Structure 1
Amino acid sequence: MNEIKFNNLGLNNNILKSIDDMGFEEPSQIQAEVIPVLLQGFDAIGQAQTGTGKTLAFGAPILNALDPSIKGVKAIVLTPTRELAIQVNDEIARIAKYSRVRLLPVYGGQPIDRQIRALRNGIDIVVGTPGRILDLLRRNVLHLQDIQFLVLDEADEMLNMGFIDDIEEIIKNSNKSRQTLLFSATMPAEIKKLSKRYMKDDTKHISIVKSTVTVSTIDQYYFEIKHKDRFESLCRILDVDEPSSAIIFCNTKRGVDELVETLQIRGYNVEGMHGDMSQNVRLNTLRKFKEGSLEFLVATDVAARGIDVENITHVINYDIPQDIESYVHRIGRTGRANRTGIAYSLVTPREYITLKQIEKYTKSKIKRKDLPTIDDIFSSKYNNIINRVKETLEKDDYKRFVPLTAELDEEYNLVDVAAALMHMVYSKEISYEYTENSIGTSSAFVRLFLTVGRMDRVNPKQMLQFFNDTAGVNKEDVGDIDIMEKFSFVDVSERAVDLLLKKSNGKRLGNRKVKIEVSKGKK
C-alpha cells in the first residue's frame, strides 16, 4: 500500500493540487481505502481512530463529486462538538482551495441569524452539530431534500452525547438517494442499527486495525510555543541538549527545505530528506547520518520510513504530526535496542487538543517542559566545555601550547586567558542570536479545585462543555482533568483562570452548583 499516491485514486487536479499544498506525500490507510469506494458511489462505514486522516478521506471525494447543477446545500457533515465542526470545516476548506465551493460551519453559541443569512445566500457544504442543524431545519432555512452526501463523523461520540433522536430526524429529512458516509472509532450496537436502517444494502465496511503502540522506552515531552517562536525554540533545545544524533520531523517537503536552509546558515550540522529528492541523494544523506558525520536529519514521515539507525538519541516534532499514528512511527526511531530515547514536540495552544488525543491513543503521558533560557544554554555549554578541558588535560596533546601560554602569562592573567578561550568556544557553538533570557507562552497552568466529582456522575467531556458554555473557555486552555470521588482538579491556562472564577463559579453542572477556587496544593 505504500506505493499508492493520491494521483492514483481518481481525484481531480484541483483537489490534488490542494493536497500537494497541504504537504501530504501519500494517503494514509483510511484515505487509500475509503476514497476509491466513495468515488464509485457506494455508501461506506469507516472504522478508524481519531487522527488517522478521516476528514480528507471523505472531504476529497465529496468535493470531487459535487454537482454544480444542484441548487442549495449539496452535502452535510454532522459532528458531535462545535470544536470538531470548526476543525472539519477548516480542513475541507483547505482541500477545496482550488474548487469553487462555499462552506458553512453551524453550531450553538454563535448567532443563528448570521447562519441563516449565509444559507439564503447559497452554501454548498454545511458542517455542524446535530442540535443546530435540526434548529435550522425546523426554521425551514436548511433544506436537505436534494443533498448528494450525508456524513456522520465520530458517530459513536454523537450517540454517547445523546444525539440519536436528532440524527434520525435529520436523516429522515434528507434526500433518500443520497450517499451516506459513517465514520466511527467503535461499532456499538446502536451504530449497527443506524447503518442498517439508513444505509444501502451494498454499503462497504472499511476497518483500519489499530497498530501496536510501543513507546515505553521513550521519554516524551512537549514545549508550548508561540508559532512565531518555533525556530528559536528548536535552536534553544538543540543548544541545551546537544543531541549526538537527532531526527527533526516536518509535515511538508517545503518545510524540510526551509528548516534545513535556516539551520545550515546558523552553522548546525544538518541535511534534509523528503520524497522529491532523488534516491541517490537520500541514500548519501542516510549514509552520513548512520556514520555519525551528520548530527541532525530533517525529514518528512514518508522519507523517514527507510531509516534504521540504532543510536538516534532524540526525535523532535518540529511540526506536530497530521495523524496520530505518525506520532508513534516518528518517536519509534529512538529508544531502540532497549536504549532509552527522548521525544520532543513543539506545540502551539491550538495544537494542544491533538497532543491530548496522542496521549489517549498511546496510553502514555507526554510531560510539559519549559523552553530553555539563555542561562540554561550557558550552563549546559559551560559544563560541556569544562568536561572537554578536563579530558584534554588528562592527555599530553596540549603541552606543545604551553610556551605560547607562557608568553600570554607575561601580559595577562591566565584566568582571564582561559575565560577568553572559553568565550571563543562558546560563541562558536551558539549560532542563534538570542535576545531574551526566556521566550514562549506562560510556563505553567494554574490548578483549580472544583466541588464536583465522580459521585455527581461528571466526566471530562461534560467538564469541558461546562467551561465552554459558562465562560467561553475552550479545550486549548485546559490541561489535565483529575476527577476524584467528591471533587476535581483541573489545570487551566493563566488567561482562563479569571474567566472561570468569575463566570463559572456558582453555576450548575449536572445537579450541583459548582464552587471553583485556585488549588492550594498538588493532587
Structure 2
Amino acid sequence: MGLSDAVMTALTDVGYETPSPIQEATIGPLLAGRDVLGQAQTGTGKTAAFALPILSTMRFGKDAGKEPRALVLAPTRELAIQVAEAFQRYASHMPGFHVLPIYGGQGYGPQLAALKRGVDVVVGTPGRVIDHLKRGTLKLDSLEWLVLDEADEMLRMGFIDDVEWVFENTPPERQVALFSATMPGAIRRIAKTHLRDPQEVTIETRTTTADNIRQRYWIVGGGISKLEALTRLLEAEPFDAMLVFARTKKATDELAEKISARGYACASLNGDIVQAQRERTIAQLKNGQLDIIVATDVAARGLDVERISHVINFDIPHDTESYVHRIGRTGRAGRQGDAILFVTMREKRLFKNIERATRQAIEPMDVPSMADVNAQRVERFKQRITDTLEAGGLEQFTDLVETYRAEHNVEPTLLAAALARLAQGGEPITLDAAPVDKSAGQAFHETADGDDKPDRKKKSATGAMSMETYRIEVGRQHGVEPRNIVGALANEAGMDSKDIGRIAINDDFSLVDLPKGMPEEIFAHLKTVWVANRQLAISRVKNSFGAPAPGPRGKPAAAKDKPRHKKSAKKKKAQTKSKGKPKRNAP
C-alpha cells in the first residue's frame, strides 16, 4: 500500500496481516496527498487509517525541527491517550519520534516541558489545544497534517466552534483527514469549508454495530432488581473483563462499591476522578488487577482494552450513538464480544429507538436463575479441586490427612467435606435469593431498578407535589420547544414527564417547575446537559413566583386559568343569607 519500511516492520510486530475496509480505502488517498472525509463505525480501525500514512510520510528527528507536523483532535481525554499510544506503537522502529497527548485534567508542567523539547505529533482535546495556542506554547507554523477523530462526537459535546477556530488558525496548505461514525449537517459544512476536494470514503455496514458483538436485553422486573440481576450475571456468565455503564457519577461510585463488596475486583471511572487515577485504573484493567469497571459514557469514551469481553448497559443510554459507542468497547478489531442491556418498562421507547437506528434486532434474555448460579458455583468449586490435583505436590498434605484420619477415626468423606468447607472460607457454595436492594432519599428515591425518580409519596396537604422553580439558559431565540426541555429533564434526571411542572419559555432563558429536593449529583449533571445546542446551566430561582400559572406547557395561562381573589367574609355571609344555603366550594 506504499507504507514505509519502518511502519511495516511495526505492523508485523503488532500482528496486523490485512487492512480493515476503512484502512484499505483511505491509506492510498492520504499517501497521495488528498484530503479525506471518512465515515465508518467505531472499532473499525480508523486510528491506523490516518496514523500509518502520517508516519510513512513524516519528517522526524533532528532534521524536522521542534514544532509538530501533525495535530489530531479528539473529543475526550481517553481517546487522545489511546490515539497517542497507537502512534507510539506504530512508530516503534522510528528512533527520535515523539508524540504528545494534551488534555484537560493534567497539569501544564509536563505538557509545556514536552512542547519545549519538541514533538512530532500532538494529540489533544479541543479545549486544551486552543489554550496552548492562545498561550503561544503550541505553534502550528510547520503543521502538515490535521486530523479530526470522531467528529460527530465533538459536535454532540459542543466542541464544533472550537474545531472551527483551530481550522482557522492552521496553515491553509495542511492536509486534512476527517473521520466520523455519522455525518450530520454541521460536519458536512465543516468538510465543505475546510477540506480541499476531499476523497469521500463511506464504509457501508448492514448495521451500525459490529456483527461480532452478541447483543441481548433483559426487561427489568419479576421481583429482581438491576443489582441482583448484575450479580447473577457475574456469577453465571463467563467473562474476562467487564465494562458496566451507569447514568451518573454517583451511580458509578455506588455500584462499584456494591460490586466490590461481592468479592470482585472493581473500580469506578467518571469525570470526578483525577486524570492520574483514571490512567492507573485503565492500566490495572489491562494488566488484570481489575476485572470490572463501572463508568459513565464520557469517562469510557475511547477506552480500548482487549480484555473487555462484556459490556453491561446497567442504565440505558439516551441516544443511539451512545449505545453504539458503548458496545464498541468490546469486540474490538474482530474479537468476539457480548453486550447486555437492562431495560425498564418505561424505557421501552428508548430501546425501540436503538433497535431501529442499529437496524438490528437485539435478542431477549432471561437473568440466570438461582439454580443456574448455584450450579456454576458448584462447577467452579469442582474445577478448583481438579486443578489442584493436576498441579501435584500433595504428598505432605496426604500424610497429614491420613494421620488425622487415623488419630480421630473420621470417615474419609466427612474429612474431605470438612476440608472443603475450610477451603471455602466460611462463604456458602450455594446462595439463597437476595433481597431487592432499595434506598430512599428525601425528595427523590432509588427504585429497585436503580432509577432516580421524584418521590411521589412526598405530597402536600392538598395532594399536589411540592415544587420549586428553576432557570435554564436556553430560550425561544435558540429554537427550544417545551418538548425539548421535557425530554432532556425526563431522560437526564430520570423523572417521569408528568412530574415536570409549568414551563415558561422566554427569549434567552426558560423557567421550569420541578419537584423539591433534587439530589445534588443530578443537579450538577443537569448543568452540563445540552438542549438546542446550548448547555442548560440550570440554577434555582430563590423566589418561585417567576413560573407561569398552570396552563399548557410553554404558554402563559389563559385568563380563565388565573387564580380568583378570595371573597371577603362579609360577602360570603351575605351570599349565604340571600340564597339560603352556602355554595359548595369548587374543587
TM-score, L = length of structure 1: 0.50
Tell which structure's C-alpha radius of gyration is larger.
2
Q: Specify which structure has the bigger relative contact order, considering alpha-carbon pairs within 8 angstroms and separated by 6 or more residues.
A: 1
